[in-house]
A and B are shown apart, each in its own frame.
Chain A
Amino acid sequence: MRVVVLWCLATPLSAHHSFGAEYDGNRPITLTGVLTKIEWTNPHSHFYLDVTDAKGNIVNWKFEGYPPGVLYRTGWKKDMTMKPGDSITVFGWRARDGGNWAHSREITLRGGGKMFFGPPAGTGDGGTTPAVEVR
């Protein structure tokens, strides 16, 4: 029997757009605040967080993540898993333009549970190796 060894791969994501172009994987950020709004929309969901800065000012941050179908299939329930008014902590990466928005990855929910709201850094930006050989 001839046996061919294939190198299989981690599950490829879709890439509606490049997270790596818009967000800087070298600028991780963790913020705790109060959830003010969630947009369960395609092609990406968003939520907004009131965060109190060092001077006591409240700044509203915007976070981007997976589309609703992807969230649903990995255990998120609309209007149940997290709701406006909840205090949550978000880990993600800041937008390259320096604004108050970021790409979300891990959410620490009100009850302490952790779930992923978005993909890892750099998703959709081409990875570590181009499709073609570089001479």
Chain B
Amino acid sequence: MRAFLVASIAAMALCPLAVSGQTAPQRTAGAPARSSVPRASDGKPDLTGVWQGGSTQRGTWDEANGGVGVGGTGRNPSAPVALSTNDRPSGREAAPYQPWAAEKVLEAFNRRGIDDPTTFCLPAGLPRTAILGLFPQQIIQTPAQIVILYEYMSMFRVIPLDAKHPDDLIPSYMGNSVGHWEGNTLVVDVIGFNDKTWLAGTGTFHSDALHITERYTRVDKDQIDYEVVMDDPNVLTKPWTLRSTMMLREGTRLEEYVCAENNLDPDRHEKLLKEGVDFRRQ
């Protein structure tokens, strides 16, 4: 049973996905045909739709998640297999933090994420909001701009195309985004962040010098390949690259998410700390 569980975990966490290194997807002999990429009226790939970040499963939301429960295998409810946006996936390279900053990240990990800014219902920032799978995101594309609506924390991004960043930016949780097309890939440049979010993993803090470059490539009807490069010379030794996928969820609609409605967690965390309850990893 244990071996089965381990195998299930491995299968969930380590599914090899071959993609072309070229911009346009290529077919190889024997490979299944991919559905065509929908095109907008201007000929660009049309990213419009409701998507689930961080998923590799095709189908409706229920088909991809309903049987197993979001984040679980569905085979054993106690199997601790879920990856969250606070987890480092197996096989992924370590985040290239400067030594002093890595110590800070490790301390947050050992505190089991109790310091997560989202505990206070603050926005999760980028790229975390883009790669999470618990809530859908909706992309609305026009020739002049892309709009992304995120159910989680009810956030939005308006991404003008072929535009420059304003020179009077106010530091913000989601930053200021501008985009342009490079062939079939939407490239989004994001600056103007505050320093109050985590990037992708427990404690992965950053400074207000954070500069993010995202690349969205719709490789077929169902899938967008998402690549993000994070650069922050104040805390990282080099740019940090992550890759993920977003899957089309036809029939899914975004729901309201009012985090402050019944947020009990800050008080509970304060109580844990005050009472000296042992929750640390070590």
Contact = CB atoms under 8 A, between A and B. Distances in A.
B204 interface: yes
B154 to A, nearest CB: 10
A76 B64 CA distance: 16
Contact of B95 (A21, A125, A131): A131
Interface residues of A, number: 61
A61 to B, nearest CB: 16
A14 interface: yes
Contact of A69 (B54, B85, B203, B256): B256
Contacts of B183: none
A108 to B, nearest CB: 10
A131 B21 contact: no
B80 A25 contact: yes
Q: Which of B52, B53, B62, B87 has the most CB of A within 10 A?
A: B87
A10 B105 contact: no
A43 B88 contact: no
Contacts of B271: 97
Interface string B50-91: 001111110001101110011110100111111111111111
Interface string B103-120: 001101101111010110
B170 interface: no
B40 interface: no
A97 B19 contact: no
B13 A10 contact: yes
A2 B135 contact: no
Nearest to A122: B80
Q: Which secondary structure dominates chain A's binding surface?
A: loop
Contacts of A122: 80, 82
Number of chain B interface residues as a range: 35 or more
A9 B82 CA distance: 10
B18 A12 contact: no
Interface in A83-135: 91, 96-97, 105-106, 115-116, 119-134
B252 interface: yes
B41 interface: no
B82 A7 contact: no
A116 B204 CA distance: 29
Given A16-B121, A73-B62, 19 more contacts: A7-B89, A8-B56, A12-B71, A17-B119, A18-B114, A21-B269, A22-B268, A43-B262, A73-B65, A91-B78, A97-B271, A97-B275, A120-B78, A123-B82, A126-B201, A127-B87, A131-B95, A131-B200, A131-B203
Interface of A: 1-18, 20-22, 25, 28, 39, 41-44, 46, 66-70, 72-75, 91, 96-97, 105-106, 115-116, 119-134
10 contacts: A4-B18, A6-B19, A10-B12, A14-B133, A17-B269, A18-B116, A105-B78, A119-B69, A120-B79, A130-B201
